[in-house]
Amino acid sequence: MVYDNIVLIGFMGSGKTSVGKSLARKLYKNFVDVDTVIEEEQNASISDIFENKGEEYFRILEQKCINELTKNKGQIIATGGGLPIYSTIPEKSLIINIDADFDVILNRLPERERAKRPLLQDESRAKALFDERIDTYKELAHFSVDANQSIPTFIHVIFDYILDQRVL
Ligand code: S3P
């Protein structure tokens, strides 16, 4: 199987965006972040979209966005934590799961980053969501990386895996 793009999945705050930017630099590829594209297209923050249009509307935008983005090839694409749960990731994507424990995620996210995520506001509900989703991430991914260490520590594991797959 030859893949067109690399798609990073995982729970909110697991490090998908930082990992994606760094991988893209190392591989000389374009980096795109689904949430950022949606925010730019809607001219509104994710929080505002959730508040004014609702989560369901946001989920429709996510599916449209990943469909559009994957018409191009050779990109590293970071998704929002709910995208693989509510949307179908187009075939020919190499899916990598950034697999961090819930407490690691909470420690990794500064307050200003937490504030941007409507579904992280209530910690016990966020933990329930994490427990609900974690198996799906693993099932969907071609490769899950243990992301409990610092990003520079595990990024070379992903890098080696990608080179091994000769994907892009
Ligand atoms: C969400 C994750 C967020 C963002 C939105 C919903 C989720 O992205 O798409 O707040 O349902 O897990 P990050 O995973 O980049 O935080």
Contacts of 100 (CB under 8 A, 6+ apart): 10, 11, 13, 14, 15, 108, 147, 148
Return the pLDDT at 1: 65
Return the pLDDT at 87: 98
Q: Which atom of ligand 1 is nearest to the CA of 85?
A: 11
Question: 150: closest CA among 33, 13, 15, 11?
Answer: 15
Return the pLDDT at 66: 98
Return the pLDDT at 51: 97
Q: For the chain, which ranges sit under pLDDT 70? A: 1, 168
Cα 82 to ligand 1 centre (Å): 6
pTM, two decimal places? 0.97
Q: What is the DSSP letter of 6?
A: E
Which amino acid, one-letter code, is at 129?
A: L
List, chain by chain if needed, residues with CB within 6 Å of any ligand 1 atom. Answer: 12-13, 16, 35, 46, 80-82, 117-119
